[in-house]
Homo-oligomer: A and B are copies of this chain.
Amino acid sequence: MKEKLYVIKIGGNIIDDEEKLNTFLKSFASLETPLQGPGVKKILVHGGGKLATKLAERLGVEQQVVEGRRITDAETLKIVTMVYAGYINKNIVALLQANHCNAIGLCGADGDAILAHKRQHALIDYGFVGDVDAINTVLLKSLLEQNIAIVFAPITHDQQGQLLNTNADTIAQEVAKAMSREYDVSLIYSFEKSGVLLDAEDDTTVIPEITPVYYQQLKAQQKIFAGMIPKLDNAFAALDSGVKKVIICKAENLEQLTIGSSGTTIIAPAS
């Protein structure tokens, strides 16, 4: 039996709220499983929140948007590298250490952890945005085996000396997929709501489990909020690539979630 590994993505709504972040990091630090106890393996992937935008405003660096898409120009890349890989990443690591969780903060260039290439698009030049090519599972495994939690900032590199701004959801998914060869991986997306809801306005209507068949039914009945569909499509794609479980839930509910009593669990077709 493979050992359990949690890959947990937290978004801007947690990063931007000091109290929520502290509560989340406390739960993350004390995560345990009946089998592995407090030595359970874990990887955290964080997004950026509003701090980079705020810094860009203070520095008078205009955020370019082309056809509704945000562009990462050279100045913006400097800012996200400073904010994501510097300020946010190192503060999260220091707070985990204070909670007795040994953690190491990495960007994709560190130890060649995440190799990416600059996004090519026929119509839009996204600038210094990276799409993921490979995950260095040997490095990640060697750190996890030392009981070190890994904290990823959403910055990758191209092995040619170029850092690249990369979507944190994608990093979480690619890391989860790659690590599935070695571990029994649960991929957890933290979310502002309590899970996937039947009624978007009512936080008590969480759907506890979604199977592929049920997903098709929900879509046919138009019961899934349109914005949720890409997230769920990605979840099923991750399951197809070997990830054991995908859970969508509130970051504040991390503890209940690891015992399966919180959020929405996306389940692979019986194989």
The residues of A with any CB-CB pair to B shorter than 8 Å are 58-59, 78, 81-87, 89-91, 93-95, 97-98, 102-107, 109-112, 138-139, 142-143, 146, 148, 155, 157, 159-163
Q: Give the 10 A-B residue pairs with the shortest CB-CB distance, closest first.
A: A86-B86, A98-B161, A82-B82, A82-B86, A94-B109, A104-B111, A104-B110, A93-B109, A94-B157, A85-B86
Residue of B84, B93, B106, B112 near A86 (CB, 8 A) is B84
Residue of B78, B85, B94, B161 near A162 (CB, 8 A) is B94
User: Can you give 13 A-B contacts (C-beta < 8 A)?
Assistant: A81-B87, A81-B90, A81-B91, A82-B82, A82-B83, A85-B89, A86-B87, A90-B163, A97-B109, A97-B157, A97-B161, A98-B161, A104-B106
Instruction: Give A84's nearest chain B residue, CB to CB.
Output: B86
CB-CB under 8 A from A155, the residues of chain B are 90
Q: What is the interface of chain A mostly: helix, strand, loop, or mixed? A: helix
Measured CA separation A106–B113 after assembly (Å)? 14
Measured CA separation A86–B110 after assembly (Å)? 12
Query: Apart from A93-B107, A94-B161, A139-B146, what 11 extra A-B contacts exist at CB < 8 Å?
Result: A59-B59, A81-B87, A81-B90, A82-B86, A93-B157, A97-B112, A97-B157, A97-B159, A98-B159, A104-B111, A138-B146
Measured CA separation A210–B93 after assembly (Å)? 42
Residue of B94, B143, B146 near A163 (CB, 8 A) is B94
Residue of B93, B97, B161 near A95 (CB, 8 A) is B161
Residue of B105, B112, B161 near A109 (CB, 8 A) is B105
Measured CA separation A236–B56 after assembly (Å)? 46
